[in-house]
Chains A and B, each alone.
Chain A
Amino acid sequence: MESTGPNPIHCRLRVGVDILRVIRRMLKEWSGVCCKQQRKPNVIQVTDLHFAYPASGFRLHIDRFTIGQGEQVALIGPSGSGKSTLLHLLAGILVPDRGSIVIDGTELTALSETARREFRISRIGLVFQAFELLDYLTVLDNLLLPFRINKAVARPRDAVARASQLADELEIADKLKRFPGQLSQGEKQRVAIGRALITEPALLFADEPTGNLDPATKKHVLHFMLNIASERGVTVLMVTHDHGLLDRFGRVCEISDFYGKTAESTPTGEMLSESTGRP
């Protein structure tokens, strides 16, 4: 004989699940309220950003993306998903097709190219995977380079002292008179970090800065970068492929590779964008 009526055990379980869902929702809302209360003012605010490389068919759309002041955020995603493109858009190197990018209270899309360069050199420090140091300048001259290439950042009187202090913190103080060709990979990247921070920017954008480093060195360099940035209250956004480094960041955001496929990452990630193709 088969029973046709509702199974009392099943009914109780369903009620239990519903109760748990309600509790979870309440917890979620409560945690959201707490997060909002703790969240610092946004230093990066992206709204309805559209960008495309017509030749390759690559498109990037970010509905909304914010980073709070002093946050250290890792940006991950598959190759060609647009991580570096996003970084370049945020730095004002690329210009979006439409949408809004507000960096440190300035609407970037409203600025002329000259103004964007001036804004970039004074407010944003950039670190690249290939270090991109000038091989014919000494470490000291490389550190001081931002003061020499745009009149928007006047060279302070204590520029050399500031460079020496940075070099000291980055443990390259004894390499100031050397040329990049005489340095190890890790040292080169530390010089690049120093160059990015010499102007005391509000933001530090790093595009896979550990990509060319061996595992031991990359942790070392990352440690330097995040610590110094933290001490100076600099907001960090770093593009990386290396999932082993993500636990060093306060937040990890993943950018999807395919149409609408997005993923949320731990511990406090958020859905970021839609993109297609490769830049």
Chain B
Amino acid sequence: MSSMIEFRNVQKYYGEFHALKDINLEIDKGETVVLIGPSGSGKSTLSRTVNGLETIQEGQLIVNGRDIADKTTDINRIRRDVGMVFQHFNLYANKDVLENIMLAPRIVLKMNEEENKKQAMALLDQVGLADKAHNMPSQISGGQKQRVAIARSLAMKPRCMLFDEPTSALDPEMIDDVLGVIKYVTSQSDMTSLIVTHEMGFAQEVANRVIFMADGQVLEDDSKDKFFDHPTNERARQFLSKIIKH
């Protein structure tokens, strides 16, 4: 299998602060990778570099065959193929649910209007919100917003999905529905997913592979079973023991 995302000696700084330290990673097409670690460890930053929302200062970052750090790369072209789901949903506040899903396919992909609408309704149906098509984002719950946000990303037919703490801002009773949708998305055989999460049970369920980060470094990168049963890194062991206690 060939790789979808490849970090080669990536360094990221915020001023003096070294946010990502010499990251080397290769994520293959179709893989579901869960990224965990304490807050401030750089996991969100790492996921946001993949679609260029954060720039890197050194190294190479190859996404779907194109180097993001290369100035000649058209970042908008890469972003079409990389969907992103945000912690705070970020639904377009001035558009209703259906328009949220249809806007980017219309103005970025120039998709035929009829086909676009058919696809949007099908996606809404998939996430169980067909009856909310004409609601404004302010009129639906957090869990529903996040499901719309996932449908919005899928409307671009991405090859890769980034989930940046998709359930962290949700009430507990909303989380399961959202996780159910994410699980469905990651189960598509050709979809590559990178998920930043604190939901360990969910991580165990969907991940092929788990990456543990702390202080801007990747400290452990293992298959799911190996990571949860025998983490080799001391920090990862401590982190897991703390999480499981709660």
Is chain B a partner of chain A in the same complex?
no
| B residues with CB within 8 A of A | none
